[in-house]
Structures are given as C-alpha cells and as structure tokens.
Amino acid sequence: MMRGRIIGLSLAALTVMVLVTSHVKADGFDANFYARKYPDVVAVVGTDPAALYQHYVTFGCNEGRSQNQQEDSARYQAALQGTAPEQANTQVAGLPYSTYIDVDIDNQTMTYYENGQVALQCPVVTGNPNRGNGTPRGTYTIQSHIPGKTLVGPTWNVWVDRWMQFTPNPCHIGLHDATWRSSFGGEIYKSNGSHGCVNLPHDTAVALFDRVNVGTTVVVR
C-alpha cells in the first residue's frame, strides 16, 4: 500500500513538472549561445548544457532571455522596426537591454549606450560588402577584451591597441582601432572597407574599451 502511494506521488510530481515547463518553447535551444550571451547565468549554474537548458525553461524564458542567436536577432529586429523617427538618436525602443554597443552599418556609426543613455558615438568603417566581407548583422556579445593584439590574416598583419572580438571563434570579427585610416564614416566601407571588423578612431576605441568588457552586448544592424 505504501509503495503504491509513493509511486502515485512520484507520478503526480512528474505531472506538475510537465505542466510547469510545457508552455516553454525550447526546441531550438543553443547552450553555447546561452552561455556566451548570459555570463551571469554561467556564474551560477556553470557551462553544462543540461544545466543551462534547465535554467532557460525554469527562469530564462520568463525573464525574456533568448534561447539562440536567431531568436535574439529577431527580437532586436522586431524592436527596431517599431522605432519612431524621433528616437533615431536614442536607445532603440523595446530592446531587452539598456547597456550595449550599436553598430549601424547603413549609417556607418557606432553608438555605445550605457544605462539607456548615449555614452559614446563615432563614425566607423565596417566590412566591404562588395568583396564578400560585409560585417555580419545580428546580436552578439564581446568574446575577447584585449589591450593590444596583432591581427593576422591571408593578406594582413597589423597591430591594434584595443581588440574587442564579438563573433565566436573561428570567425574573428571585432571592434578595434585603425590608425592606418585617415577618415571614417560615409561610403568608405563600400570601396575600402575592412575584412569584416568594425574600424574605430583610436581615441574612441580606447574610450570604448575602458567602458565595456566580456559579455557586453553588441548589436550589428
């Protein structure tokens, strides 16, 4: 009789768990993305994919956290489309964060919002789309935060004073100073753009580096 009651209780508990989590749509959960996007979660539950998934279905979904890059980018684009013209120089309405780096490819600008206010802004040079090197649009987080690095590629070998990589390896794309450039902004990127990185004036790169760190959100649009 006692065994029957225990089994009954276990089935009841399982039913409750199913009811609690059944409303969560997590059929595209990406543990690697979740860990990169939310270092605060990693600090608590670690990097085990099962633990990260459990956090998402238990807390993350209700907190407005994204389960993968596609969902995060879609959320950003939806918010962007609802932005009124008078908000063009302020934080994009509806975004789930108030501190982030905004890279506007069409206008060739970088704006750093801190607690919802513009803290830094400058013209930039992004990747050359006419050579297949366009800077990838999407929502990312800073992966590497290094004061001084040599960037090496098939046709380049240059030193930068500030390196802030925001795409995951092996695609090394980031924000950095570009002292070899005499001007930024405008249409430069269409003919003399980068290999994908976001080139910043040196002073702004230094100032930005001092304000951000690994985990800071980077929105490229």
Domain-embedded: residue 186: yes
Q: What are phi and psi of 215, to 5 degrees?
A: 105, -15
Phi, psi dihedrals of residue 89, rounded to the nearest 5° = -105, 15
Q: What distance lies between CA 7 and its chain's CA centroid?
A: 46
Residues 6+ apart with CB under 8 A from 60: 34, 38, 41, 67
Among candidates 113, 127, 130, which has minimal Cα distance to 167? 127
Question: At a CB cut-off of 8 Å and minimum separation 6, what does 53 contact?
Answer: 26, 29, 31
* C-alpha to C-alpha distance for 86 and 50, rounded to whole angstroms: 44
Do 40 and 117 fall within a single domain? no
Burial 88-121 (b: 16+ CB within 10 A, else e): eeebbeebeeebbbbbebeebbbbbbeeeeeebe
Q: Tell me the whole-structure pTM to 2 decimals.
A: 0.62
CB atoms within 10 A of CB 128: 19
Please report the pLDDT score of residue 183 as a whole number.
96
pLDDT at 2 over 60: no
**CB of 24 closer than 8 Å to CB of 53:** no
- Say if residue 204 is in the same domain as residue 103: yes
3-state secondary structure of 71: helix
The answer to whether residue 65 is domain-embedded is: no
84, part of any domain: no
CATH of the domain at 114: 2.40.440.10
Residues 44 and 93 in one domain: no
Same-domain pairing of 130 and 29: no
Answer yes or no: do 99 and 207 share one domain: yes
Q: For residue 38, tell me if it sits in a domain.
A: yes
**Whether residue 155 sits in one domain with residue 96:** yes
Q: Please determine, for residue 22, whether its predicted confidence score (pLDDT) is greater than 60.
A: no
Residue pLDDT, tens place only, 161-215: 999 999 987 778 999 999 999 999 999 999 999 999 999 999 999 999 999 999 9
- Model pLDDT, residue 23: 40
Both 41 and 108 in a single domain?
no
Q: Is the pLDDT of residue 3 over 50?
A: no
Q: Specify whether 136 is located in the same domain as 195.
A: yes
Question: Pick from 198, 210, 123: which is nearest to 167 by CA?
Answer: 198
The number of distinct structural domains making up the chain is 2
155, 208: one domain: yes
pLDDT of res. 34 = 85
Residues in the chain: 221
Query: Is the domain of 44 the same as that of 108?
Result: no
Enclosing domain of residue 24: 2-60
Is 212 domain-assigned? yes
- 102, 85, 78: which is closest to 166 by C-alpha? 102
14 belongs to a structural domain: yes
* Domain assignment of residue 167, yes or no: yes
Q: Which residue has the tokens 């001007």?
A: 183
Is the same domain home to 110 and 45?
Answer: no
Together in a domain, 49 and 111: no
18 falls within a domain: yes
